Amino acid sequence: MKKEVKKVVLAYSGGLDTSVILKWLQDEYNCEVVTFTADIGQGEEVEPARQKALELGIKPENIFIDDLREEFVRDYVFPMFRANAIYEGEYLLGTSIARPLIAKRQVEIAHITGADGVSHGATGKGNDQVRFELGYLGQDSTLTVIAPWREWDLNSREKLLAYAEQHGIKIEKSGKKSPYSMDANLLHISYEGGILEDPAAEPEEEMWRWSVSPEAAPDEAEYIEIGYQNGDPVTLNGETLSPATMLEALNRLGGKHGIGRLDIVENRYVGMKSRGCYETPGGTIMLKAHRAIESITLDREEAHLKDELMPRYAKLIYNGFWFAPEREMLQAAIDKTQENVEGIVRLKLYKGNVIVVGRSSDQSLFNPEYCTFEEDAVYDQKDANGFIKLNALRFIIEGKARKHQG
């Protein structure tokens, strides 16, 4: 039985799915709809969504189009990269990290407009339904959540198109439609479906949109320098950039050199395996650079503990727990480690590779007086005798005990 709602904030792109959802909400729930379109750097015009919403009867005051690019990178992407977060050893969490921000803003708009419900276009098979709804419920559990894909029978593109035609919803058909389900933001673009549903099939070269193939990348390497402050990249080749413009610039550089392509089979939170392809050119560069600057500014045990915590942190983000207290607890610990993570990292970009060629920092813990292979006056190599014997003491005791027992 449907719960009665008066006004719903819909995460709206203006595409087929969400346009059908908009009309379906009006008809099935007989409610007022507020549309929210987030610009998080997906590379497409967002203003056409306004006209589309108006055509579908949405009041001008109920149409929200927000530029969230700087907030997205500053408050979500950068904190995640301070942790060096990677899911299952490869995925840089480009889709996962965008959902909490969209959900947060939807709830804010619900409060502004007096809405009592929120809705999204995520399917009942994927991770995004969890990410959106944990975001909603974590901020305002009084809101009714409507997930149309879990209620209706419009479970194919053909049925959606038929519904759109029946209800006079205009669908742009210009150009050839991609056979893939794609999602993009400033951090990455993802591809699922089509031939990718066969994990043995190699992706078609024309699928990739952000990067050239490594084979087609320039034959000459390009050197860049990234400056860090408190664990975040702040300068590129000496120029101070805002978070969003930094990521945009690194995306261009990475794409030019064929950097950041990924083809993986991942374990979804809901239980099944899923094959996806991703392009994360700027993020791939940032991860390499960040680990490089940490290598000279973090204490050994601090760095190792961080690496132990990282998979748990990444899993929380992948599964939609950005606003959970345990993620915030881990973030506080991670951010504490970043207080002295500053300096310059020099990188070489070449045919799909990001190669660290230098790193320097005023906070560096690298001391050549101790690690030199030449003669030094600060380290007595004889001290290693006792160090090794103490570390081997349990082996010695066990060995004697086993020999005595034998």
Catalytic residue among 50, 69, 82, 99: 99
Structural domains of the chain sorted by starting position, each given as residue range(s) with its CATH number in brackets = 7-81+93-166 (3.40.50.620), 181-298+341-360 (3.90.1260.10), 373-405 (no CATH)
pLDDT tens, residue by residue, 230-247: 999 999 999 999 999 999
For 87-95, what is the mean pLDDT? 97
Is residue 379's pLDDT more than 80?
A: no
pLDDT of residue 222: 98
- CA 277 vs CA 92, 106, 182: distances in Å: 12, 28, 10
Has 17 been annotated as catalytic? yes
Average pLDDT over residues 154-183: 83
Compute the average pLDDT of residues 363-390. 82
User: What confidence tens digit (pLDDT) does each residue in 131-141 have?
Assistant: 999 999 999 99
Lowest mean pLDDT among 51-55, 156-160, 301-305: 156-160
Catalytic residue among 13, 17, 50, 359: 17
pTM for the whole thing?
Answer: 0.93
Tell me if residue 140 is catalytic.
no
Task: Give the mean pLDDT of 192-219.
Answer: 96
Which position has the token pair 């600060």? 378
Q: How confident is the model at residue 175 (pLDDT cuts 50, 70, 90)?
A: low
pLDDT at 1 over 70: no
Q: Is 219 a catalytic residue?
A: no
The yes-or-no answer on residue 402 being catalytic is no
Mean pLDDT of the residues in the chain: 94
- Looking at this protein, which amino acid is placed at residue 241? L
Annotated catalytic residue within 140, 181, 268, 291: 181
- The shares of helix, strand and coil residues in the chain, as percent rounded to the nearest 5, are 45, 20, 35
H or E element in which residue 239 lies: strand 239-240
Dist CA 280 CA 351 (whole Å): 15
Please count the residues of the chain. Answer: 406
Range in 44-58, 60-74, 108-122, 261-275 the model is least confident about: 44-58
- Coil/strand/helix, residue 376: coil
The pLDDT value recorded for residue 372 is 67
Q: Which of 128, 232, 327, 359 is catalytic?
A: 128
